[in-house]
Amino acid sequence: MDRKKIESLVNEHETPLLVIDHDKIRKNYSEFRKKLPRVQVYFAVKANSEPKIIKTLYDMGASFDVASLPEFNLVFNMVKYLEPEALQDFIWNKIIYANPVKKPDSLHVLNLYKPLLTYDSVEEMRKIKKHCPDAGLLLRLKVCDEGSVVKFSNKFGIDPKLAVDLIGETIKEGLEVEGISFHAGSQCNNPDNFIKALRSVAEVFAEAEKRGLEIGEKRTSDHAIKIVDIGGGFPAQYNGNENCFGKLTEMINRELDKLFPRENTAIIAEPGRFLVANAGTAISKVVLAKHSTEMPCYHIDDGVYHTFSAIIYDHFEPNLETFKKGEKIKCKVFGQTCDGLDELSENSYIHNSKDAFLPKLEDGDLIYQENIGAYSNASATNFNGFPPAKIIHINE
């Protein structure tokens, strides 16, 4: 985003701001579809749950991955005026509730719509049997997530060696197992995670077939269609490294075609950050510039309890920029709260923070951060009484 546009937005709305560029979201979605043509795209709403983002992706033909009843309702409220049959088709074909752990009251509500759910344990399966028996199920496997920025294997997924036994028990309970899911870890920088996971899925399918267990969606076809959910983790291009995603998708496409016949397998994915990370630009203002200290210190009107929560919760490494000219020198940049943790520069509390280098700034100067559209405003708070940044949508 250029200086003229940023200054115009600040003059109109003041700071702090988070600007979401919908042209970038549409471009990212189109690239994902082009590079993975077999894959149905389910946007992971948790990455950025702004309703306008959901609407843009809905208009592009996207499906949605939700992890809570409020996220489900964000999508549902957009389509609730459809005719009953069309509404049910949308919920079945366009929404997956991909949190393997669900509250009973949420399951009661979801059962009205015969949803697609994930699970990874016999305990969750029995809960679903009791509270949401009309759901279709995807069993989530535990897979390798080494090299991924955010890991999930510590929390979710069943050991693949135990998967077929659980599938058998699930079918015995009268529930429909539609397929298998996995997640290779968020911002996955190790393509082998996907390849190993896909091979594990194929092995589970083969063993289930050997035991005579039928897996697959039977609601909309004369024959069973197995669902393979390859999760999220597709690396956002924070540093402009476009070859990374291209290489990954080439490897995935080869493996999909080798392992899963097109005629009886549906492939879905849950990208979040890939679609929205580079669409967000945070704009803040220097509230106080201290030059009497050993190192320049800048206090700004945003911070780690707000848009820059990504530093804590998403291992985000900030790269702060300004329009001021001059030699860039090492400095400290603090957020607006009274907490010592609220530092955007090198921070002893946060292992992924790094030194900030900026030219000499004064009160009122602007600082901006690009590529912060994912896991930022979604986890912002009102801590210390400071509201989150105002969200501005452009190119809707």
The residues annotated with a catalytic role in the active site are 338
Neighbours of 283 (CB within 10 A): 26
Q: Which helix (H) or strand (E) holds 225?
A: none
d(C-alpha 373, C-alpha 21), whole Å: 9
Buried b or exposed e, range 175-210, using 16+ CB within 10 angstroms: bbbbbbbbbbbbbbebbebbbbbbebbbbbbebbee
Q: Which of 77, 100, 101, 107 is nearest to 90 (CA)?
A: 77
Helix (H, G, I), strand (E, B) or coil at 282: strand
* DSSP string of 236-271, one letter each residue: P-TT--HHHHHHHHHHHHHHHHHHS-GGGEEEEE--
d(C-alpha 215, C-alpha 266), whole Å: 12
User: Cβ distance 118 to 97 under 8 Å?
Assistant: yes
Rg of the Cα trace of the chain? 23
CA angle 294, 297, 299 (to 5 degrees): 160
User: Cβ distance 157 to 182 under 8 Å?
Assistant: yes
Question: Which residue do the tokens 């546009």 mark?
Answer: 5
In terms of C-beta density within 10 A (0-12 exposed, 13-18 middle, 19 or more buried), how is residue 221 classed?
Answer: exposed
d(C-alpha 275, C-alpha 280), whole Å: 11
What's the one-letter identity of residue 78? M
Q: Which of 312, 296, 300 is nearest to 337 (CA)?
A: 300
User: Distances from the Cα of 195 to the Cαs of 93, 183, 244, in angstroms?
Assistant: 26, 12, 15
User: Cβ distance 151 to 145 under 8 Å?
Assistant: yes
